[in-house]
Structure 1
């Protein structure tokens, strides 16, 4: 394909994308294919010669699309959303066409300086105070890894990267069982070891870390000769929206001199609405905070904003400056590759800039408030329906429920969930609360309407009745 061919196919791709989104409600949300079906339809060996673009496109529609789960479907109520507002898709189109490698200021000054500006826009939007500085990471997993590496280096007086962990005291990091598994992976990659991730008991309706138990665990570790390094708190945990009492966690952290990271990957987007900020009261005292505009705000994946009270600690942990990466003759510049694990960086700031300008914070607030209201309404309807139990009340737009039966409740609800997803009209996922299997619901699709959420009630109750 040359650029003249691209002109034709680019128009066709834009038409296809608009038609695809317009027809999403007519498609089943989850892919309805058997394992291996797509693989068996693909040739075993790559082609030796060039193939016609029309043939490639035909195979895309006939082989690939039937095996796709439609994350932009307005009735995608599973996991958390991975939204892609049209203006964000358009911005990514430009990013792909420019194809810049934005690792340093000099490799694309506009990319670096736009990132600085939009991160500060987001800081203001979610209510973090002056003094916090932001960077765009690829995902919350990477931001959490950066935080854990920084915890490690601070605790070891910046000697971990140089001397390694051999011979050092056992470093300990504290969190609840409600944090995302990306925390476990960060602990592995940072070389701390799974046994040194200390799980603190939770309590109360928000399933928050018990601050007294946290304090006691730190004291016990110090007495055993271990070295406490940091605390990871969460706001809006993946399973059921668990939210720690950030202020109470910070009281402990400050008394013990520990680095703190707050994972608000999903729920952080809701903090553009001032009325929800009580969920993370005290966050301004944290060292590191992460939220994902690519989840609930509509910025296409991948786009994570990572805020730091003192970015110098992160840069000291990660920066390497060989001669070929130095920018001579320019003082005071920022090279964001020194703020993240990968050297290479995409121009992620452009889609966030397009999104905020095209919708405005008021438009994005309206979407989030609607999702919260609709989810609360659905939970109330299910709770009032005979045979249903709401297990965890809505945390923003996320709640869990189960259908009651005389049979094995776990097996019964897994069967109900399977039948809901095979039906195709909506898509839900499961989790476990205090060991019991429950069904999760979260409203977060960018194009969802009140009618889509109402359909969820109809599908859930209809299939529950059919299975009893």
Structure 2
């Protein structure tokens, strides 16, 4: 158990860095270790969480933010092309972060395409399922992690959607020896007579000491059980679907991506400024709290169900607040357009009068000629 998905991504990047460096030294003993590390490169989608890019900065590793398809998913062919391009440049592909449930739109990268490529090139594959990973407790959502068998590490935040207080980030690794080789440092004051009897977690991460996070997670599991946690996930998704239904019934709005899990991404049709005004108004009024996002250069509002206490009446309240504020915004826009039309109309009237005078003058001239 780590503190956050950010820590998990960073720890696995460091482990992948050390593992790849060792492997390259075995294959090419003539190479300098420092030179190898300058050539290492990692990959993720441009929809991945900011913490992935931050891990690259902290770990001194170049991270390529790869483009996604029209569903915001990273595809295998995109990754493979980037890897091949870097190999031709003499770089060393080292680490891939695939996301299951991106922050912006809850998109799912194609693991069944990405996984075999990572295996082919011997690249560490880390899966960031910080939010959506909790839903895999329900069998009906497990198809979304097809290809997970290729993962070298996997992370889900229990404090996001599994009813556990912050912080509790569950990290699974396929081969813990890679962590130990990267982080193990022995000192005489660290020696004890229980070595080898149980995992020594000081060698699985950054810190030597660690909080007893497992206790609160254990209590949640004991209190709710599998069925209770499944019920919570399904209830949350049902509420998000209710909000989506309200949106679809109102032609002022558009849903920009398919509603997934507990997240619905929407916007007011038209210019981005309308959605910006809506978000600003909602924030100022403090009745509901929405975070902005972007999708194909469109500004979007992200409506997500977060609380276990949320009920249908809360969705109705939220919808009424969003709808009423949208009414005011659109009425204000319409009023402004009317003012602009009125401001232009004197010129239009003058032009019409001028044209009419010209016509009368032409008729008079023709009558004079005829006479």
TM-score, normalising length: structure 1:
0.67
Separation in structure 2 between the aligned mates of residue 402 and residue 372 of structure 1, nearest angstrom: 20
* Within-5 A mapping of 1:348-427: 348-405=213-270, 409-427=271-289
Q: Which of 54, 57, 66 pairs up with 1:188?
A: 57
Shift of 1:344: 2.4
Shift of 1:320: 1.4
Task: Specify the alignment match of 1:452 in structure 2.
Answer: 314
Separation in structure 1 between the aligned mates of residue 148 and residue 81 of structure 2, nearest angstrom: 22
Deviations 1:88-135 (A, max 9, x none): xxxxxxxxxxxxxxxxxxxxxxxxxxxxxxxxxxxxxxxxxxxxxxxx
Task: Specify the alignment match of 1:247 in structure 2.
Answer: 112
Asked whether the equivalents of residues 153 and 159 of structure 1 are also in contact (C-alpha less than 8 Å), the reply is: no
Shift of 1:330: 4.9
Task: Specify the alignment match of 1:282 in structure 2.
Answer: 147
Separation in structure 2 between the aligned mates of residue 466 and residue 302 of structure 1, nearest angstrom: 40
Asked whether the equivalents of residues 125 and 152 of structure 2 are also in contact (C-alpha less than 8 Å), the reply is: yes
Separation in structure 1 between the aligned mates of residue 34 and residue 301 of structure 2, nearest angstrom: 42
Deviations 1:343-369 (A, max 9, x none): 221111110011110111211111110
Structure 1: unaligned runs, 5 residues or longer = 1-135
Task: Specify the alignment match of 2:290 in structure 1.
Answer: 428
* Within-5 A mapping of 1:303-382: 303-382=168-247
Separation in structure 2 between the aligned mates of residue 321 and residue 158 of structure 1, nearest angstrom: 23
Q: Which runs of 4+ in 1 moved over 6 A?
A: none
Give the CA RMSD over aligned residues.
1.7
Give yes or no for the alignment of 1:461 onto 2:323: yes
Q: Which has the higher helix share?
A: 2
**Count of aligned positions:** 324
Structure 2: unaligned runs, 5 residues or longer = 26-31, 331-371
Separation in structure 2 between the aligned mates of residue 155 and residue 432 of structure 1, nearest angstrom: 35
Deviations 1:173-202 (A, max 9, x none): 11110110111111111111xxx2112221
Asked whether the equivalents of residues 158 and 317 of structure 1 are also in contact (C-alpha less than 8 Å), the reply is: no
Shift of 1:301: 0.3
Give yes or no for the alignment of 1:437 onto 2:299: yes
Task: Specify the alignment match of 2:357 in structure 1.
Answer: none
* Within-5 A mapping of 1:4-43: none
Separation in structure 1 between the aligned mates of residue 101 and residue 279 of structure 2, nearest angstrom: 23
* Within-5 A mapping of 1:36-55: none
Asked whether the equivalents of residues 156 and 171 of structure 2 are also in contact (C-alpha less than 8 Å), the reply is: yes
